[in-house]
Structure 1
Amino acid sequence: MIPMTLAEVAAATGGVLDTTDGTPVVDAPLAFDSRRPSPGSLFACLTGALVDGHDFAALAVEQGAVAALAQRPVHVPAVLVPDVLTAMSDLARAVHQRYDGVTIGITGSAGKTTTKDLLAHVLAAHAPTVANRASFNNEIGFPVTVSSVRPDTRYLVLEMGARGKGHIQALCDIARPGISTVLNIGSAHVGEFGSREAISDAKAEIVRALPATGKAVLNADDPLVAAMRREHDGRILTFGTDEGADVRATDITTDEGRPTFTLHHQGRTAAVQLTVYGRHNVTNALAAATTALAADVPFDTVATALSEARMATGGRMAVTTRTDGVTLINDAFNASPESVLAALDALTEVGRGRRRIAVLGEMAELGDASVQWHWRVADAAARAGLAHLLVVGSGEGADVLADAYTAATHTVPDRHTADTVSAAVRAILLPGDVVLVKGAHALGLDAVADQLLTV
Structure 2
Amino acid sequence: MHLLASQIAAATGGTLHGPDVQVDSAGIDSRALRAGQLFVPIVAERDGHDFIPAAVAAGASAYLTDRAPDLALPATAIQVDDTFTALAALGREARRRLPDRVVGVTGSVGKTSTKDLLAGVLETTYRTAASEKSFNNELGLPLTLLGAPDDTEAVVLEMGARGVGHIALLCEIASPTVGVLTRVEGVHLEMFGSLDDVARAKGELVESLPADGLAILNADHEIVAAMDARTQARVLTYGLAPGADVRAENIVLDDQLRPRFDLITPWGAAAVALGARGEHQVPNALAAAAAGGGLGVPVDAIAAGLAGARLSGLRMELATTGAGVVVINDAYNANPTSMAAALGSLARLDARRRFAVLGTMAELGDDGPAAHREVAALAHDLGVAVIAVDEPAYGDGVTHVADVDAAVAALGDLTEGDAVLVKGSRVAALERVAQALG
| TM-score normalised by L of structure 1 | 0.91
Preserved CA contact (<8 Å) 1:29 1:38: no
**Cα deviation, residue 38, structure 1:** 2.7
| Structure 1 counterpart of 2:388, from 374, 387, 391 | 391
Percentage identity across aligned positions?
A: 44
Alignment of 1:277-288 (within 5 A): 277-288=277-288
- Alignment of 1:377 with 2:363, yes or no, is no
Alignment of 1:136-155 (within 5 A): 136-155=135-154
Preserved CA contact (<8 Å) 2:267 2:293: no
Alignment of 1:59-98 (within 5 A): 59-72=54-67, 73-74=69-70, 75-76=72-73, 77-98=76-97
Partner residue in 1 for 2:297: 297
- Count of residues in correspondence between the two structures: 433
My pick for the range that moved more, 198-207 or 145-154, is 145-154
Preserved CA contact (<8 Å) 1:197 1:224: no
Alignment of 1:30-49 (within 5 A): 30-49=26-45
Per-residue CA deviations over 1:325-384 (Å, capped at 9, x if unaligned) read: 11111111111110000000011112x232111011122222232233223212210122
- Alignment of 1:411 with 2:400, yes or no, is yes
My pick for the range that moved more, 360-369 or 324-333, is 360-369
1-structure distance, mates of 2:435, 2:294: 38
Structure 2 residue ranges without an equivalent (≥5) = none
Partner residue in 2 for 1:443: 428
Distance 1:449-1:71 versus aligned 2 partners, 3 A rule:
farther
2-structure distance, mates of 1:420, 1:372: 25
Preserved CA contact (<8 Å) 1:117 1:310: yes
Preserved CA contact (<8 Å) 2:373 2:395: no
**Cα deviation, residue 248, structure 1:** 0.4
| Amino acid aligned to 1:442 | V
**Cα deviation, residue 420, structure 1:** 4.1
| Amino acid aligned to 1:39 | A
Preserved CA contact (<8 Å) 1:391 1:402: no
Partner residue in 1 for 2:169: 170
2-structure distance, mates of 1:165, 1:442: 24
| Amino acid aligned to 1:264 | I
- Alignment of 1:198 with 2:197, yes or no, is yes
| Amino acid aligned to 1:112 | K
2-structure distance, mates of 1:207, 1:372: 32
- Alignment of 1:402 with 2:395, yes or no, is yes
1-structure distance, mates of 2:422, 2:10: 48
**Cα deviation, residue 210, structure 1:** 0.4
- Alignment of 1:422 with 2:421, yes or no, is no
Alignment of 1:49-448 (within 5 A): 49=45, 51-72=46-67, 73-74=69-70, 75-76=72-73, 77-256=76-255, 257-266=257-266, 268-311=268-311, 313-350=312-349, 352-386=350-384, 388-393=385-390, 398-403=391-396, 406=397, 409-413=398-402, 416=403, 418-425=404-411, 427-448=412-433
2-structure distance, mates of 1:234, 1:160: 19
Distance 1:194-1:144 versus aligned 2 partners, 3 A rule:
same
Q: Counterpart of 2:6 in 1: which secondary structure?
A: helix
| Amino acid aligned to 1:128 | R
Q: Counterpart of 1:363 in 2: which secondary structure?
A: coil
Preserved CA contact (<8 Å) 2:318 2:326: yes
Structure 1 residue ranges without an equivalent (≥5) = none
Q: Counterpart of 1:147 in 2: which secondary structure?
A: helix
Preserved CA contact (<8 Å) 1:200 1:224: yes
2-structure distance, mates of 1:244, 1:448: 43
Which runs of at least 4 in structure 1 moved beyond 4 Å after TM superposition?
Answer: none
| Amino acid aligned to 1:83 | D
| Amino acid aligned to 2:371 | W
1-structure distance, mates of 2:105, 2:322: 38
Preserved CA contact (<8 Å) 1:258 1:275: yes
Per-residue CA deviations over 1:128-152 (Å, capped at 9, x if unaligned) read: 1110111011222111101112231
How much is the aligned-residue C-alpha RMSD, in angstroms? 1.7
2-structure distance, mates of 1:233, 1:110: 25
2-structure distance, mates of 1:412, 1:142: 38
**Cα deviation, residue 236, structure 1:** 0.6
1-structure distance, mates of 2:165, 2:267: 39
**Cα deviation, residue 52, structure 1:** 3.9
| Amino acid aligned to 1:78 | A
| Amino acid aligned to 1:53 | G
Preserved CA contact (<8 Å) 1:402 1:410: no
Preserved CA contact (<8 Å) 1:361 1:438: yes
| Amino acid aligned to 1:381 | A
**Cα deviation, residue 228, structure 1:** 0.4
2-structure distance, mates of 1:149, 1:167: 22
Preserved CA contact (<8 Å) 1:101 1:153: no
Preserved CA contact (<8 Å) 1:333 1:440: yes
| Amino acid aligned to 1:443 | A
2-structure distance, mates of 1:144, 1:422: 38
2-structure distance, mates of 1:53, 1:117: 30
1-structure distance, mates of 2:93, 2:365: 39
| Amino acid aligned to 2:175 | R
My pick for the range that moved more, 168-177 or 133-142, is 133-142
Q: Counterpart of 2:282 in 1: which secondary structure?
A: helix
